[in-house]
A and B are shown apart, each in its own frame.
Chain A
Amino acid sequence: MPAVSKGDGMRGLAVFISDIRNKSKEAEIKRINKELANIRSKFKGDKALDGYSKKKYVCKLLFIFLLGHDIDFGHMEAVNLLSSNKYTEKQIGYLFISVLVNSNSELIRLINNAIKNDLSSRNPTFMCLALHCIANVGSREMAEAFASEIPRILVADTMDSVKQSAALCLLRLYKTSPDLVLMGEWTSRVVHLLNDQHMFQGVVTAAISLITCLSQKNPDEFKTCVSLAVSRLSRIVSSASTDLQDYTYYFVPAPWLSCKLLRLLQCYPPPEDGAVKGRLVECLETILNKAQEPPKSKKVQHSNAKNAILFEAISLIIHYDEPNLLVRACNQLGQFLQHRETNLRYLALESMCTLASSEFSHEAVKTHIETVINALKTERDVSVRQRAADLLYAMCDRSNAKQIVAEMLSYLETADYSIREEMVLKVAILAEKYAVDYSWYVDTILNLIRIAGDYVSEEVWYRVIQIVINRDDVQGYAAKTVFEALQAPACHENMVKVGGYILGEFGNLIAGDPRSPLVQFNLLHSKFHLCSVPTRALLLSAYIKFINLFPETKVTIQEVLRCDSQIRNSDVELQQRAVEYLKLSSIASTDVLATVLEEMPPFPERESSILAKLKKKKGPGAVSVTELDDSKREGGELNGGGERAADTAAMAASNASTPSPSADLLGIRSSAPMGAAPAAAGSLLVDVFSEAGPAAPAAAVNNDGFLFVCKNNGVLFENQLLQIGIKSEYRQNLRMYLFYGNKTSVQFASFSTTVSCPGELTPQLNVQSKPVEPLVEGGAQIQQVLNIECLSDFSDAPLLNIKFYGGALQNLTLKLPVTINKFFQPTEMTSQDFFQRWKQLSLLGLGSALLDNVDPNPENYVCAGVIQTKGQQVGCLLRLEPNAQAQMYRLTLRCSKESVSKRLCELLSQQF
């Protein structure tokens, strides 16, 4: 039996619910199925159900649905309840509709009808039910039906409760279908709801949500609300705690209304009118002062309500960016940082993050650094620690970077796994942004790899290498440090990558006694077998660089390259590197070697990809604009000035022997790193690797297409990157096969092709094609089929546009060899027929089937064919009369359409 049942309880429902409670899942399902069968039979039965039963069954269905079971009937009965005169039945009907909205259009019409009746009933309770239903469903259909009606109800002389519902209902419709809610005379009347001195607070509370939302989109239309809101707020703030009677919540006057007013003001700049501004500042100061007063109640509700207003006021202060108030706000938040309420500590950390980005409060926020660090170390709740880490990141600048980075690093050792990657990115960004001393930067990143190697993304280690390459004052230090780091018996693979790269470039700078070339090499090679293929490839490149740096290591390294596990490695990339490097080291003179394996030139200055990654991770808005500007400015310094930005293309070409790491560092991740084929691939590398390199070749390669008039297969286009083969055949329509071959070993991304029929061609040809796969692996070929239908005769050729990303964006436009003669259907005919038709066709002619024994002169060639277009068939006859002595031909064409013979003549004359 039910524990409690009040008001209009439904006994049968209560019994059903208690039946189900505490049952096993199977028993529950069994009981529910039984009940569903029962309800179905009641609904289908001959006997008309009374209102109460209908209500009870609809309510049972609702209960079953809310338990998580599907309901596929009963909607109609619920809709019937809407038109009941009994309040409780109507109410259940509306509840069912709100919870189980069905987009069934027929029902929506019925529901809208019922709502319309209730809205015009003048019975406030019914009107409220209807408005609630509209707000709950909030669909486009509902907006279409009622968006114009509701503003009228809102400003009409109705009961307050109806006004409240109408305001929020309209807000809901505006959010889903702003285009349907038209501004008008009612808007000014809504704004003036704020004005009325004696207005029931509840109406204002509801209306202000609507006004806030509308004024975000139409600020000018609602401008007058600012002064009204200020005076309303001022009245509340200065009222005694009991003045507002029931709108006082735990001794706090109207907290909801206050917060909504403060939120509304955040839609506008500070008021221009001095008096209004003065009054508002006074309000904000009062709110800040009240925070210092002793609480009027020990209940948490009191402090929550009071502080809710305070935090909202601080948001407004941040919005106005007013120095005095900002500093006061910051001090207030500083107190909260040590509050015993976890919620307040959390919110204070969060709010301070925003304060840290204002120039007026940045310094004030910084004074709390010790407290925040302490929070990071001691807070029990991970979400609070996370906020502390965010705040440290936000308050970091040159003056405290070392301390903050050190604290974040030590926190990383125990940080929750869920936030490690983000922490790593933040540390890497701060270290780079505020590095004055690059040895500190290198230490930090290496520590990062040591502590949280698994969470160090590629962007982070690419970046440290870019910076070391670009700054010669840190290269020796970096080499020494990685050498030491690699001494650890177990070090992270990312460390091996950085170590391999840096020693390969700068090992010579530290090749003193304990770090002799061979020791360096052996150290690197001791990690080799533990590493993945890409790292091994990188190490092989480091080895060949060693041969150049230290000729004395040549024999040892050649031995390593020569052993089966390298030169016969099953991985093609490794094998190729081993073979080529071995060959290079044995045939090239020292001079050649030195040129090919020269030290990497500086990387061009570019925005840190780490920052981009963090932004992506946190979503838009997580990294404030000021931060970005900042990092750009400081990033420039770090890269050693933009002047040195070497031409990427030149670099890629001169360093062809270590292309893979350089390619990686440029941020173009190629799945199969380019094999080293230094000389031959030189020019190709420029195209593939340089983002800033020369413009992509051949924006409009023009081939006039005469080549394919009499040929169906062949190579349409070829450059260093791409080859396009073509094959066509005619079967009612022209079917053309295009073969796109990737000539490089690098994947082409975003590969796409479009065929267009420019100008007059559009109504003449119909080209259908299927999209191609967007990725073309290195060395692979993909195929595309075009189906071309000739609608009427034509002379232009369709264009094929190809775009893809292979190092740089490539954009090609080619003419497709689609000519009118491709649509020939050969025709057999006798001599008599031929000459009969020849005479009929007074103009030129061309035939496609070569006919023997037609022309009396056996030297002559004659052809006949029909060009099949959708619109008409064009018959063509051709006569070719060679004159061997004069070495000339006479070509005569006769067609049933003049334009066709003209075009055919052009096409064919090019062939001789």
Chain B
Amino acid sequence: MRFLLLFSRQGKLRLQKWYTPLTEREKKKIIRDMTTMVLARQPRSCNFLHWKDLKIIYKRYASLYFCLGVESQENELLALEVIHRYVELLDKYFGNVCELDIIFNFEKAYFILDEFLMGGEVQETSKQTINRCIENSDMLQETMEEYMSKPAF
């Protein structure tokens, strides 16, 4: 896997994860290409595209597009399910996840992704195991009361 991008229907980037070193310039170019290419697709088209030497696999969930760039020998269908599993993990964590959850808790979205994928490879596919990890780390954190007592600036 080379990268994962999440963007809204308006083309606003919500999450970016890169698995190979790229310059900021190259990243911006890819983001631009992906959003224009994917957003221009007709509904009910297939979920796969060729772009340069990569395969692009994308899927839309509500207002968010999930877009994966993978090497040409990778399995497209499995990549679609990588996206789906990630959505499930987000959903399980946030409870009916929506775009706002990802905006306001972007760091959590990264942490969850890191439990699932590492260096562009699937690390752990068990939903239970991943959720247990995330819950464990949330246990190290505080309660809602503590949260509300914090300064709001």
**B101 engages A3 (CB within 8 Å):** yes
**A383 engages B46 (CB within 8 Å):** yes
A714 and B8 CA atoms in complex are apart in Å by 72
**A256 engages B122 (CB within 8 Å):** yes
- Min C-beta distance of B12 to chain A, whole Å: 9
**Given A4-B105, A12-B151: A246 and B128 within 8 A (CB)?**
yes
**A342 engages B46 (CB within 8 Å):** yes
- Min C-beta distance of A315 to chain B, whole Å: 8
- Residues of B whose CB lies within 8 Å of any CB of A are 13, 15-16, 21, 28, 42, 44-50, 53, 73, 75-78, 80-81, 84-85, 93-94, 98, 100-101, 103-108, 110-111, 114, 118-129, 133, 136-138, 140-142, 147-148, 150-153
Bits for A51-64, please: 1 = Cβ < 8 Å to B, else 0. Answer: 01000000100110
Whether, in the assembled complex, A346 has its beta carbon less than 8 Å from a beta carbon of chain B, the answer is yes
**A205 engages B42 (CB within 8 Å):** no
**A132 engages B114 (CB within 8 Å):** yes
**A148-178 interface (Cβ within 8 A of B):** 161, 164-165, 168-169, 171-172, 175-176
**Given A346-B48, A383-B45: A59 and B107 within 8 A (CB)?**
yes
Contact of A15 among B53, B81, B153 (CB under 8 A): B153
Which residue from chain A places its CB closest to the CB of B117 in the assembled complex?
A: A168
**B141 engages A88 (CB within 8 Å):** yes
**Given A88-B140, A161-B133: A256 and B125 within 8 A (CB)?**
yes
Whether, in the assembled complex, A249 has its beta carbon less than 8 Å from a beta carbon of chain B, the answer is yes
**B129 engages A202 (CB within 8 Å):** yes
What would 15 more interface pairs be, CB under 8 Å, given A255-B78, A380-B44, A384-B46?
Answer: A17-B104, A68-B28, A86-B140, A91-B107, A95-B111, A168-B118, A172-B118, A172-B119, A201-B125, A246-B127, A304-B81, A342-B46, A343-B48, A346-B46, A383-B45
Q: Chain A residues near B28 (CB, 8 Å)? A: 68
Most chain B beta-carbon contacts within 10 A, residue among A4, A15, A249, A311: A4
Contact of B100 among A4, A52, A347 (CB under 8 A): A4
**Given A138-B21, A205-B124, A343-B46: A6 and B138 within 8 A (CB)?**
yes
**B114 engages A305 (CB within 8 Å):** no
- Min C-beta distance of B86 to chain A, whole Å: 13
**B107 engages A347 (CB within 8 Å):** no
Question: Can you give 6 contacting A-B residue pairs, CB < 8 Å?
Answer: A5-B105, A8-B140, A8-B142, A138-B119, A256-B78, A256-B122
Contact of A308 among B81, B85, B142 (CB under 8 A): B81
**A308 engages B78 (CB within 8 Å):** yes
Contact of B94 among A4, A11, A21, A619 (CB under 8 A): A4
A308 and B150 CA atoms in complex are apart in Å by 48
**B125 engages A9 (CB within 8 Å):** no
**Given A202-B129, A311-B75, A619-B53: A91 and B148 within 8 A (CB)?**
no
Whether, in the assembled complex, A553 has its beta carbon less than 8 Å from a beta carbon of chain B, the answer is no
Whether, in the assembled complex, A827 has its beta carbon less than 8 Å from a beta carbon of chain B, the answer is no
A688 and B1 CA atoms in complex are apart in Å by 50
**Given A63-B106, A380-B42: A15 and B152 within 8 A (CB)?**
yes
Q: Chain B residues near A619 (CB, 8 Å)? A: 53
**A135 engages B118 (CB within 8 Å):** yes
**Given A11-B151, A169-B118: A6 and B80 within 8 A (CB)?**
no
Contact of B42 among A21, A99, A246, A381 (CB under 8 A): A381
Bits for A337-373, please: 1 = Cβ < 8 Å to B, else 0. Answer: 0000011011100000000000000000000000000
**Given A88-B140, A345-B46, A380-B42: A6 and B94 within 8 A (CB)?**
yes
Secondary structure at the A interface, as helix, strand, loop or mixed, is: helix
**Given A6-B105, A347-B76, A381-B45: A255 and B81 within 8 A (CB)?**
yes
**B124 engages A343 (CB within 8 Å):** no
- Min C-beta distance of B127 to chain A, whole Å: 6
**Given A6-B105, A246-B129: A383 and B49 within 8 A (CB)?**
yes
**B138 engages A342 (CB within 8 Å):** no
Contact of A246 among B45, B126, B137, B140 (CB under 8 A): B126
**Given A4-B104, A6-B138: A202 and B75 within 8 A (CB)?**
no
Whether, in the assembled complex, A666 has its beta carbon less than 8 Å from a beta carbon of chain B, the answer is no
Q: Chain B residues near A86 (CB, 8 Å)? A: 140
**A304 engages B45 (CB within 8 Å):** no
**Given A95-B111, A304-B80: A165 and B103 within 8 A (CB)?**
no
- Residues of A whose CB lies within 8 Å of any CB of B are 2-12, 14-15, 17-18, 21, 52, 59, 62-63, 66, 68, 86-88, 91-92, 95, 99, 101, 125, 131-132, 135-136, 138-139, 161, 164-165, 168-169, 171-172, 175-176, 201-202, 205-206, 209, 246-247, 249, 254-257, 259, 263, 301, 304-305, 307-308, 311-312, 342-343, 345-347, 380-381, 383-384, 619
**A380 engages B45 (CB within 8 Å):** yes
A5 and B150 CA atoms in complex are apart in Å by 13
**B49 engages A3 (CB within 8 Å):** no
A175 and B76 CA atoms in complex are apart in Å by 22
Q: Chain B residues near A95 (CB, 8 Å)? A: 107, 110-111
**A10 engages B150 (CB within 8 Å):** yes
**B137 engages A125 (CB within 8 Å):** yes
**A5 engages B103 (CB within 8 Å):** no
A454 and B127 CA atoms in complex are apart in Å by 54
**A383 engages B104 (CB within 8 Å):** no
- Min C-beta distance of A333 to chain B, whole Å: 14
Which residue from chain B places its CB closest to the CB of A18 in the assembled complex?
A: B104
Q: Chain B residues near A175 (CB, 8 Å)? A: 119
Q: Chain B residues near A139 (CB, 8 Å)? A: 21
Q: Chain B residues near A347 (CB, 8 Å)? A: 48, 76-77
**B114 engages A259 (CB within 8 Å):** no
A202 and B121 CA atoms in complex are apart in Å by 12
**B48 engages A383 (CB within 8 Å):** yes
A74 and B131 CA atoms in complex are apart in Å by 31
Closest 10 CB pairs of A and B: A8-B141, A172-B119, A308-B77, A7-B138, A135-B119, A308-B78, A246-B126, A342-B46, A381-B45, A168-B118
A101 and B18 CA atoms in complex are apart in Å by 12
Contact of A8 among B13, B104, B123, B138 (CB under 8 A): B138
A307 and B81 CA atoms in complex are apart in Å by 11
- Min C-beta distance of B30 to chain A, whole Å: 13
**B123 engages A164 (CB within 8 Å):** yes
A8 and B140 CA atoms in complex are apart in Å by 8
Q: Chain A residues near B124 (CB, 8 Å)? A: 161, 164, 202, 205-206
Q: Chain A residues near B152 (CB, 8 Å)? A: 11-12, 15
Q: Chain A residues near B142 (CB, 8 Å)? A: 8
**A91 engages B137 (CB within 8 Å):** yes
**A168 engages B121 (CB within 8 Å):** yes
**B126 engages A202 (CB within 8 Å):** yes
A618 and B145 CA atoms in complex are apart in Å by 60
Q: Chain A residues near B111 (CB, 8 Å)? A: 91, 95
Contact of B93 among A6, A15, A62 (CB under 8 A): A6
**A66 engages B147 (CB within 8 Å):** no
A171 and B148 CA atoms in complex are apart in Å by 43
Q: Chain A residues near B81 (CB, 8 Å)? A: 249, 255, 301, 304-305, 308
**A17 engages B103 (CB within 8 Å):** yes
Q: Chain A residues near B78 (CB, 8 Å)? A: 255-256, 259, 304-305, 308, 312
**B126 engages A342 (CB within 8 Å):** no
- Min C-beta distance of A814 to chain B, whole Å: 46
Most chain B beta-carbon contacts within 10 A, residue among A3, A9, A68, A164: A9
Which residue from chain A places its CB closest to the CB of B139 in the assembled complex?
A: A7
- Min C-beta distance of A283 to chain B, whole Å: 17
- Min C-beta distance of B88 to chain A, whole Å: 9
Q: Chain A residues near B85 (CB, 8 Å)? A: 249
Which residue from chain A places its CB closest to the CB of B76 in the assembled complex?
A: A347
**A381 engages B46 (CB within 8 Å):** yes
A865 and B81 CA atoms in complex are apart in Å by 87
**B122 engages A5 (CB within 8 Å):** no
A88 and B120 CA atoms in complex are apart in Å by 24
Q: Chain B residues near A4 (CB, 8 Å)? A: 94, 100-101, 104-105
A12 and B140 CA atoms in complex are apart in Å by 20
Q: Chain B residues near A62 (CB, 8 Å)? A: 107
A775 and B103 CA atoms in complex are apart in Å by 55
